Amino acid sequence: MLLSGQVALVTGAGRGIGRAIALALAEAGARVAINYNTSAQAALELAAEIAAAGGEARAWQADVSETDQAAALVDNVLQHFGRLDILVNNAGITRDNLLLRMGEEDWDRVLAVNLKGYFNCCKAAIRPMTRARRGRIINIASVVGLRGNAGQVNYAAAKAGVIGLTKSLAREVGSRNITVNAIAPGFIETDMTRALTRDIREQMLKNIPLGRLGEPADVAGLAVFLAGPGAAYITGQVIAVDGGMAM
């Protein structure tokens, strides 16, 4: 199997895109650390599902926006599995509003989870990866970080920040055989997008050449590729999975 013997940590893996990525990495042979914040039941069920299919997985609670919790999460993974080969930063939230109406708390929380959370996990993972002289970091950004979106100045700023973090870290750690790439999903069917009104969904669909919304599995396929041997010479890239929406 493509990733057998390797250990992957996926943040925010109890639901949505993170869940699909954790499942796909396990199917490719990786042992998977499932991080969750509030969805304990879903995370435990996912670990059980992976085990039932013959894989290995374990779930850990951590709020990745808290530096100490992110560090403890990576420590737990290293203690339990003995190594960390793949980090997928996926945990994210939205708190949408027009800038004029956006409260400071909504700005701060979105930046804390969607940007500082990625920094925290990268920082905790980079030392063991450097020691092992191998590693793959995959950051889930968004096409909104490339193009902007009315009503999402906080989210777009965080996702644009993730892209800057990805390219800068790729330059810092390339010599250690660690690649750092970003995936920029478009409009993917998860709890995050189910909250949008019918009007907005129909408007979005008009701008998607492939004529459908994405599924979490569409994003997971690219994550497995970026974690695998076929992507050994790819770093610092931002790859959209958006049905052609942002081109």
Q: Is 119 in the site for ligand NAP (CB under 6 A)?
A: no
- Looking at beta carbons, which residue is closest to ligand NAP? 16
DSSP string spanning the chain? -TTTT-EEEETT-SSHHHHHHHHHHHHTT-EEEEEESS-HHHHHHHHHHHHHTT--EEEEE--TTSHHHHHHHHHHHHHHHS---EEEE-------B-GGG--HHHHHHHHIIIIIHHHHHHHHHHHHHHHHT-EEEEEE--THHHH--TTBHHHHHHHHHHHHHHHHHHHHHGGGTEEEEEEEE-SB-SHHHHTS-HHHHHHHHHT-TTSS-B-HHHHHHHHHHHHSGGGTT--S-EEEESTTTT-
> Whose Cβ is closer to ligand NAP: residue 12's or residue 243's?
12
15-54: contacts with ligand NAP (CB under 6 A): 15-18, 35-39
Check 36, 118, 155, 233 and give the catalytic one: 155
> Whose Cβ is closer to ligand NAP: residue 195's or residue 232's?
195
> Whose Cβ is closer to ligand NAP: residue 9's or residue 30's?
9
Q: Is 190 in the site for ligand NAP (CB under 6 A)?
A: yes
Exactly one of 55, 161, 185, 243 binds ligand NAP (CB under 6 A); that residue is 185
155 is an active site residue: yes
Chain residues in the site for ligand NAP (CB under 6 A): 11-12, 14-18, 35-39, 63-65, 90-93, 113, 117, 140, 142, 185, 187-188, 190-193
